[in-house]
Amino acid sequence: MEQKRYGHFDDQHREYVITDPQTPWPWINYLGNEDFFSLISNTAGGYSFYKDAKFRRITRYRYNNVPMDNGGRYFYIKDGDTVWNPGWKPCKTPLDFYECRHGMSYTRITGKKNGVEASVLFFVPLKKWCEVQKLTLKNESSETKSLKLFSFEEWCLWNAATDMENFQRNFSTGEVEIENSTIYHKTEYRERRNHYAFYHVNAPIQGFDTDRETFVGLYNEFADPQAVMEGKPRNSHAHGWSPIASHYIEVTLKPGESKDFVFLLGYIENEQDEKFEAPQVINKKKAHALIAELDTTEKVDKAFAELCALWDNLLNIYKVKTGNDKLDRMVNIWNQYQCMVTFNFSRSASFFESGVGRGMGFRDSNQDLVGFVHQIPPRARQRIIDIASTQFPDGGCYHQYQPLTKRGNNDIGGGFNDDPCWLIFGTVAYIKETGDFSILDEMVPFDNQPGTEVTLFEHLKISMDHVIKNLGPHMLPLIGRADWNDCLNLNCFSWDPNESFQTTENVSEGTKAESLMIAGLFVVTGKDYVALCQKLGKNDEAARMQKAVDAMIEAVKKHGWDGEWYLRAYDFYGRKIGSNENDEAKIFIESQGWCTMAEIGAEDGMVAKSLDSCKKYLECEHGMVLNNPAFSKYIYEYGEISSYPEGYKENAGIFCHNNPWVIIGECIAGRGNDAWSHYAKILPSYVEEKYQTLHKVEPYVNCQMVAGKDAFRPGEGKNSWLTGTAAWMWYTVSEFILGIKPDYDGIRIDPCLPETANDYTVQRKFRDAEYEITIHPNGAQKGVKSITLDGKPVDGTVIPYSAGKHTVEVTM
Ligand code: GLC
Ligand code: GLC
C-alpha cells in the first residue's frame, strides 16, 4: 500500500521539508545554541526559555492540550473576511500552499492564501538572547491588498511549574509596559527578579493588546480571537490575569510588492542597582541595544548567515561520502544535529518532556557528550566539570542537576549505581578527541561545596572505587535504586501508587540486588581507566584497577552466564533475572550489550552466543526489544519495569538507546552484516518512507522508544529528540561501523561493514589536522590489511597525529 507522505529530506539545504501541516504528531525543531532556546513545531507552536525550561520560561505552553500543540508564536492575517496563519494553525483556514522547512537551528514556515504569501523565518542569533521572527509578506495577486496583521505571544510567569498551578497568586501579579512598538513583560520584576522579556517589531504599529481575555474573548479561542475577527485591536493593558503581547499593523501591498517585518522576542537581565529608570519603570537600555542590533532586514540576514556558517563549520568536522544518501544524510546532517540538541537540552524540554520535570541527568549528559565532543570541545570540557561537581565524596552522584544553578537535584538524590562509571566514559572521550590531559588536573568540588576540591582525576578514581566498594553476594555490582534502566527498581517494593519507583526503598536491610549491566559497564570503562593510567605513567593505579576488572570478568563468567546469554541481574533475594528459568523476561538487552562490548568470555564463545540470542529473541521488524517475553503483570520485586503494558518503554519496547550497544558488540566481534542490519532498522532515514504514519513522530531524528513486538501497535514511535540514542547512534556509526576512532595518539581505523559495502571516504578534522580517509572494504566485514598515510605505509591501525592536511588510504 502507498504510504501517505508528509514531507521529505532536502539534503542540499540540510532541511526536512514538511508539505502537509496535519502531520501525525507535531514535528518539531529546536532554535538556539547556548543560552536562549525555543521549541517550534511545524505549525509554529511551542515556546522559549532562557537556559532553564523550568525556572526561566519566557512564553507559556500547555502540554497535552486539546487540540494538541495549541499555543505558540502566531501571526494572524486578515484579508477582507478571511483570517489565516502562515503555519495553518490556529485558525486552520485551508491554505493554497503550505511548507515548513526545519533546518539546522532554524525553521521557515510559508503559507499562501488568496494571492498573498507569508513566510516566516524563525531563529535565535548566535550569542544573542532573543528569537528572531522575520516575516515577509508578498502580494502575488494583481490587485492592491490591504491586510491587517496581528502578532501573538503569551507570556509565562517565569516559573513554568508554578505558572501551571498557583493561580490564586498568578492572576494578580502580571505586569507589562508598552513603549512604541515594544511590549515588555515585567511580572515579578518589582520584587526579586532582575529579568524581563519583550516582544518588538521594527515597524510602527497601529494598535496592540496585552491582556489575553480582552484580545481573545473569554468564549473564543486562539482560532478566532475577537480582536482579530473584528479587525480591531483593543489596546488593552494587562494588570494581573494573563499578559500577552500582540502587535497590530495595517499593511498595504501593491501587486508584486513585498515587505519584511522583524519581530523580536527578547530576554534581558539587569544589575540590582540598575533595574529601574524611574519608579516602577524598567530600565530598557539593554533592550534598546539588543533591538538596535537586529532592527533591519540586512542585520537579520547577516545574523542568519552567521548561524548558517556555524553549522557549516560544525558539520565539516566529520563528513562521509558513501554514495548511500540515506546513510550520508544521517551521518552528515541529522544525527550530528540531534546530538547537539540533546547535549543542550539533556532530557528537559521536548514535546514529551515538559521542561519542569528533569534538569540534566548525570549519566545522560556524560553519554550526550560523546555525540558532541568533536564539534565544540570547550563546551564538552565545561560540561564534564559541571557534572563532576555534583559528585559526592564517596563517588556516588546526584542523579540530576539544574542547568541554571548547576546544583544537584535533592528531590531525586543519588544512589543510581551506574552513574559514576559514566564520568569515565565522558572524560576519556573528551581527552581522546582533544589530547587535552590538563582537564584531569582541574580542581573540582564535591556537591558544589567550596573547599572540597580535588582533581578531576581523583573524581574518576573514586568513581571506579564506588563500584568496587559496592559489590553484592556474587561479587557483582550492587544496583542501588536502578542502573541505566531507571525502571529496574530491585530494592523498591511498592504497593503504593503515590510512591516514586526511583526514590522509594521499603526495606531496611540495605540494597542487595546486583546488576550485570553495571558489571559490563565497569569492565568497559575500567579498561579505559587502566589505559588512561598507563598513559599518565600511573602504573600502580593501572595494575590495581586491572585486578578489579579481571575479578569482575571472572564474577560475570561464574555468576552472570545463563547458557545462551548473560543474566540481567540478581534480585533482592538473590534470584536470577533475565534467565531461562524465569517465566517472562528471560533475556534482557542491556547486559548483552555491555558484556559483549566488554568481550567477557569471548574465548569461551559467550559473546557470539549472546549476540545470536539477541537476534533470536530480541530482534523484530522495528529493532531489538529491551526484554523478551514482555512482563504481563506487575512484579512487586522488580519495580517500574513491570508497570508498563507489554511492548512499551522499558517493558519490551524497542528502547532505541540500547540497540547500539549490541551493534557495537557485533562490530567488536567483527560481524558486519549483523551490525548493519540492526543499525538500519532504527536509522530514521530508513524508517522514513515505510513508517510515516505508523511511526508518527519526526522522521528526521531518533526517538527514545518505538513500540516493540508485544505492543498493541508495534512500530509506533514516542519520546522523540531527547534521548541517548542520538549520541549512541553517532558513536556507533562514526567509530565502529565507519571505523574512524579518535585515540590518544592519533586516529584508529577499524571499520566493521556489511560485505556489500562500497569504497567510501571520510573527511575528519582532528585537533589541528585534517584527514581525508578512503576505505576500500573489498568485501571484508572487518580487518584492516594496510594503511598508507600521505603515500607511506603505517604500522598497525593508528594513524599518528600530526597537524596539517593528510591523505589516508585503507585496504581491508
Ligand atoms: C531515560 C533516561 C535515562 C535512562 C533510560 C532508561 O532515557 O533519561 O537516564 O537510562 O530512560 O531507563
Ligand atoms: C520513567 C521512564 C524512564 C525514565 C525515568 C526518569 O521511569 O520510564 O524512561 O528514565 O522515568 O525518571
Which residues are near ligand 1 (CB < 6 Å)? 347, 361, 363-364, 484-487, 650, 657, 704, 723
User: Mean of the pLDDT values across residues 344-360?
Assistant: 89
Ligand 2 pocket test: which of 486, 490, 655, 723 has the largest number of ligand atoms within 8 Å of its C-beta?
A: 486
For the chain, percent of residues with pLDDT exceeding 70: 99
Specify the DSSP element, H or E, that contains 387: helix 377-388
Neighbour count for residue 185 (Cβ, 10 Å): 30
- Return the pLDDT at 764: 98
Q: How far is the CA of 40 from the centre of ligand 1 (A)?
A: 24
What is the overall mean pLDDT for the chain? 96
**What angle, rounded to 10 degrees, do the helices at 419-434 and 516-535 form?**
40
Question: Using H for helix, E for strand and C for coil, what is the string for 148-191?
Answer: EEEEEEEEEEECCCHHHCCHHHHCCCCEEEEECCEEEECCCCCC
In ligand 2, which atom is closest to the CA atom of 655?
Answer: 9
Phi and psi torsions of 628, nearest 5°: -150, 140
Write the CB contacts of 28 (distance below 8 Å, at least 6 apart in sequence).
Answer: 39, 40, 41, 42, 46, 102, 350, 351, 698, 720, 721
Per-residue pLDDT of 750-777, as tens digits, reads: 999 999 999 999 999 999 999 999 999 9
Q: 121 near 153, Cβ under 8 Å? A: no
Write the CB contacts of 75 (distance below 8 Å, at least 6 apart in sequence).
Answer: 44, 85, 86, 118, 120, 135, 149, 150, 151, 152
Write the CB contacts of 748 (distance below 8 Å, at least 6 apart in sequence).
Answer: 741, 742, 797, 798
For ligand 2, is residue 486 a contact (CB within 6 Å)?
yes
pLDDT at 693 over 90: no
For ligand 2, is residue 657 a contact (CB within 6 Å)?
no
Task: Kindly name the residue from 211, 486, 562, 571 that is annotated as catalytic.
Answer: 486
Residue closest by Cα to atom 6 of ligand 1: 485
pLDDT band of residue 46 (cuts 50, 70, 90) is very high
- Return the pLDDT at 505: 84
Q: How far is the CA of 70 from the centre of ligand 2 (A)?
A: 26
Where would I find the H helices in 560-709?
589-597, 606-613, 659-668, 672-681, 684-690, 692-695
Read off the pTM: 0.97
For ligand 2, is residue 502 a contact (CB within 6 Å)?
yes
Closest CA to 468 of 578, 550, 559: 550
Per-residue pLDDT of 285-309, as tens digits, reads: 999 999 999 999 999 999 999 999 9
pLDDT at 553 over 60: yes
pLDDT band of residue 410 (cuts 50, 70, 90) is confident
Q: Measured between alpha carbons, how far is 577 from 516 in angstroms, rounded to an integer? A: 10
How does DSSP assign 707-740, residue by residue? Answer: --TTSSSTT-EEEESSSTHHHHHHHIIIIIIS-E
Residue in this structure with the C-alpha cell 511511526, named with its chain if needed: 695
Q: Measured between alpha carbons, how far is 699 from 25 in angstroms, rounded to an integer? A: 11
Closest CA to 430 of 486, 383, 395: 383
Q: 619 near 678, Cβ under 8 Å? A: yes
Q: Measured between alpha carbons, how far is 514 from 568 in angstroms, rounded to an integer? A: 9
Amino acid residing at 388: A
In ligand 1, which atom is closest to the CA atom of 658?
Answer: 6
How far is residue 751 from each of residues 344, 478, 678, measured CA to CA in Å?
30, 35, 16
Q: How far is the CA of 484 from the centre of ligand 1 (A)?
A: 6
Displacement of CA 678 from its chain's centroid (Å): 22
Q: Which ligand is nearest to the CA of 642?
A: 2
- Return the pLDDT at 509: 67
Specify the DSSP element, H or E, that contains 106: strand 106-113
Ligand 2 pocket test: which of 342, 419, 487 has the largest number of ligand atoms within 8 Å of its C-beta?
A: 487
Amino acid residing at 550: D
In ligand 2, which atom is closest to the CA atom of 357?
Answer: 12
User: Mean of the pLDDT values across residues 781-802?
Assistant: 98
Buried b / exposed e over 495-508, threshold 16 CB at 10 Å, is eeeeeebbebbeee
User: Mean of the pLDDT values across residues 724-735?
Assistant: 98
Ligand 1 pocket test: which of 364, 422, 705 has the largest number of ligand atoms within 8 Å of its C-beta?
A: 364
pLDDT at 213 over 70: yes
Q: 252 near 191, Cβ under 8 Å? A: no
Per-residue pLDDT of 515-546, as tens digits, reads: 999 999 999 999 999 999 999 999 999 999 99
User: Mean of the pLDDT values across residues 65-83?
Assistant: 97
587 has which bridge partners?
628
Cell numbers of 774, please? 578512503
For ligand 2, is residue 412 a contact (CB within 6 Å)?
no
- Return the pLDDT at 409: 87
User: Is the Cα torsion angle 416, 420, 421, 425 positive or negative in sign?
Assistant: positive
Q: How far is the CA of 720 from the centre of ligand 2 (A)?
A: 14
pLDDT at 510 over 70: no
Neighbour count for residue 448 (Cβ, 10 Å): 17
Residue closest by Cα to atom 9 of ligand 1: 364
Neighbour count for residue 362 (Cβ, 10 Å): 26
For ligand 2, is residue 640 a contact (CB within 6 Å)?
yes
Closest CA to 249 of 385, 148, 139: 148
DSSP three-state, residue 199: strand
For ligand 2, is residue 353 a contact (CB within 6 Å)?
no
User: Is the Cα torsion angle 750, 755, 759, 762 positive or negative in sign?
Assistant: negative
User: Mean of the pLDDT values across residues 357-385?
Assistant: 93
Q: Measured between alpha carbons, how far is 497 from 643 in angstroms, rounded to an integer? A: 11
Q: How far is the CA of 751 from the centre of ligand 1 (A)?
A: 29
For the chain, percent of residues with pLDDT exceeding 90: 94
Write the CB contacts of 319 (distance below 8 Å, at least 6 apart in sequence).
Answer: 332, 762, 763, 764
Q: Given the DSSP bridges, would you call strands 130-139 and 116-123 parallel, antiparallel or unpaired? A: antiparallel
For ligand 2, is residue 649 a contact (CB within 6 Å)?
yes
Per-residue pLDDT of 435-453, as tens digits, reads: 999 999 999 999 999 999 9
In ligand 1, which atom is closest to the CA atom of 361?
Answer: 9
- Return the pLDDT at 618: 98
Write the CB contacts of 67 (distance below 8 Å, at least 6 apart in sequence).
Answer: none
Q: Which ligand is nearest to the CA of 357?
A: 2
User: Mean of the pLDDT values across residues 478-483?
Assistant: 96
Q: Measured between alpha carbons, how far is 65 from 148 in angstroms, rounded to an integer? A: 29
Q: How far is the CA of 411 from the centre of ligand 2 (A)?
A: 15
For ligand 2, is residue 364 a contact (CB within 6 Å)?
no
Q: 635 near 628, Cβ under 8 Å? A: no
Residue closest by Cα to atom 11 of ligand 2: 486
Q: Measured between alpha carbons, how far is 92 from 107 in angstroms, rounded to an integer? A: 20
Q: How far is the CA of 349 from the centre of ligand 1 (A)?
A: 15
DSSP three-state, residue 282: strand
Ligand 1 pocket test: which of 627, 657, 722 has the largest number of ligand atoms within 8 Å of its C-beta?
A: 657
Displacement of CA 217 from its chain's centroid (Å): 38
Residue closest by Cα to atom 4 of ligand 2: 486
For ligand 2, is residue 487 a contact (CB within 6 Å)?
yes
DSSP state at residue 656:
G
Is residue 638 packed enough to be buried (19+ CB in 10 Å), middle (13-18) or exposed (0-12)?
A: buried
Q: Measured between alpha carbons, how far is 708 from 706 in angstroms, rounded to an integer? A: 6
Write the CB contacts of 16 (distance below 8 Å, at least 6 apart in sequence).
Answer: 7, 8, 9, 10, 27, 101, 102, 334, 698, 699, 700
Q: How far is the CA of 630 from the centre of ligand 2 (A)?
A: 17
Per-residue pLDDT of 648-673, as tens digits, reads: 999 999 999 999 999 999 999 999 99
486 in active site: yes
pLDDT at 1 over 80: no
Kindly state the greatest CA–CA separation across the chain: 84
For ligand 2, is residue 363 a contact (CB within 6 Å)?
no
